[in-house]
Amino acid sequence: MNIVSYRGPGMAGGLSNAMTRVREKDGNNGNWWFVSDNVLSVSRGKDSKTEAVSSVDQDVVNGHYRYCNDFLWPVMHDLTAYATYRAEDRKHYKTFNRLFAQAITNTLRGELHQGSFIHDYQLAGQPKLLRKDGNNVSALFWHIPWPKKVEENHVLAIVDLVRPMLHAATIGFHTQEYADNFISFVDQNVTDYKGDLRSKVIVVPLGIDYDYWSHIADKQEKEFLQVLIGKTPAVLSVDRADFTKGVSNRMQAIDLFFRMHPEWKEKVRFLQVCGRTRAGIEAFDKYWIECRQLARCVNNEWQTDDWRPITWLDQPLNSAELSMLYRNADVMLVNPLRDGLNLTAKEYVACQNGNPGVLALSTGAGAWAELADGCVAVDPRQPGQMSGAINVALNMMKTEREMRMQLLTNSVRKNSLDDWWQKFTLILADKAAVATESTKYVGLAG
């Protein structure tokens, strides 16, 4: 099977890390196609070195990057106030996809019958381009939300995005809501696509390797944790300074938390593992500055000689280091405004032991659909509600924490990374067999 994604093995990003784990475990010897800087590359088999296939003009790379992050990202997350549309960037996006598909087909020639797993919004053009050039059967996994509503002035651009997606045999989403939103958009706006070029839409939330996270947490020493947060109870958040993640909302809620619950002063610490993201994109650059300024204001307001309420770590941590923080955090605060899934919530659950913490989770996270029964709900748009939820989580009795964590553990274990990947493997194997008999694709399914 071909894996076709923007990021490659071991790169930053939830699905890239997940796919790397899949490859390590099942001995997948397929080709993984991805982008590194302005070079289209392939990793042939899990033990092979990366090969450069072709280069892309830097203007095209930059335009594709802007279109993805300045326009598609906020639109897909229902945060259009941050969206900037440029017609030239849209052209670069399409050129980038065309060159990517050409590089694959020119390299593999007649090998494309094995099928391709295509990942996410950066490469939405691939299902049509690969099918056209190599009769390739593909499954597209949409790792981010599909918006509840697409504004009228954005509809044509999103229709242009959707048309090539409908050449995939299957399109997968994390939640039923995202799938329903997509189907509704297609039915209302892609009215000329009837018949053979329709895809089957499925709900396949990404799972984690539960055993990997739980075992790696068992092996870590606590010294790392002591250096970071000392011995006070900790409220942990792990994300990027991305306006979808609700980081600025969190800073406001923390400030209000100490105003509403002054008894927690010097008795709790908020640990933010939060790095800068998408440098060079104005909306993200401004958001990074805003969040850091808010954190400084909270610390200046509440800190004492021996204590600061917020400890901010802006460098990435490896899985072992994260697992130690997950294991020992009293509360995991995950409060995006809108998020495709949020794997950190599931990783936190996997790292808990006999004295579990509490997951405080936003209803805006895709993971809410799976984990709602065991977590404490937070609303990032209501700082008063958020601060109250943090207080509830910190004061929760052990018996309730254990009950809630058991519910969460059952949910996370039930949907494993292996199960998730196996679904796509079987889908593509089945569709590849069907494609040898017929070029017709299944109808769009609700």
CATH of the domain at 74: 3.40.50.2000
Question: CA angle, corner 90, sides to 89 and 96, nearest 5?
Answer: 85
Q: Distance between CA atoms of 55 and 141, rounded to whole angstroms?
A: 25
**Do residues 67 and 125 share a domain?**
yes
**Do residues 328 and 293 share a domain?**
yes
Q: Is residue 441 part of a domain?
A: no
Structure tokens at 337: 């405004």
Stretch 98-124: mean pLDDT: 87
CB count within 10 Å of CB 407 equals: 15
Q: How confident is the model at residue 21 (pLDDT cuts 50, 70, 90)?
A: confident
Torsion sign across C-alpha atoms 313, 83, 344, 97: negative
pLDDT of residue 232: 79
Least confident of 1-5, 37-41, 229-233, 343-347: 229-233
pLDDT of residue 30: 81
Q: Is the pLDDT at 106 greater than 50, yes or no?
A: yes
**Do residues 21 and 84 share a domain?**
yes
**Do residues 234 and 356 share a domain?**
yes
Q: Distance between CA atoms of 446 and 349, rounded to whole angstroms?
A: 31
pLDDT of residue 223: 63
User: The tokens 């009293």 sit on which residue?
Assistant: 330
Q: Is the pLDDT at 20 greater than 90, yes or no?
A: no
Of the two residues 272 and 19, the one the predictor is more confident about is 272
Which structural domain, as residue segments, surrounds residue 107? 2-207+417-435
Q: What is this structure's pTM? A: 0.93
Q: Is the pLDDT at 435 greater than 80, yes or no?
A: no
Q: Is residue 92 part of a domain?
A: yes
**Do residues 270 and 237 share a domain?**
yes
Structure tokens at 194: 């009837």
Q: Is residue 98 part of a domain?
A: yes
CB count within 10 Å of CB 34 equals: 23
Torsion sign across C-alpha atoms 365, 370, 376, 382: positive
| Among the listed residues 352, 388, 387, 391, the one whose alpha carbon sits nearest the alpha carbon of residue 374 | 352
pLDDT digits (tens, 9 = 90+) for 384-434: 999 999 999 999 999 999 999 999 999 999 999 999 999 998 888 776 554
pLDDT of residue 436: 40
What number of residues does the chain have?
446
Q: Is residue 440 part of a domain?
A: no
**Do residues 299 and 429 share a domain?**
no
Q: How far is CA 252 from the centre of its chain?
A: 24
**Do residues 233 and 145 share a domain?**
no
Q: Is residue 159 part of a domain?
A: yes
**Do residues 214 and 331 share a domain?**
yes
Q: Distance between CA atoms of 446 and 444, rounded to whole angstroms?
A: 7
Q: Is residue 361 part of a domain?
A: yes
Q: Is residue 167 part of a domain?
A: yes
Rg (CA), the chain: 22
**Do residues 151 and 295 share a domain?**
no
Question: CA angle, corner 445, sides to 442 and 446, nearest 5?
Answer: 175
Q: How confident is the model at residue 23 (pLDDT cuts 50, 70, 90)?
A: confident
pLDDT digits (tens, 9 = 90+) for 170-224: 999 999 999 999 999 999 999 876 544 568 999 999 999 999 999 998 877 666 6
Of the two residues 154 and 442, the one the predictor is more confident about is 154
**Do residues 236 and 353 share a domain?**
yes
**Do residues 162 and 190 share a domain?**
yes
What is the count of structural domains for the chain?
2
**Do residues 311 and 366 share a domain?**
yes
Q: Is residue 13 part of a domain?
A: yes
If you average pLDDT over every residue of the chain, what do you get?
90
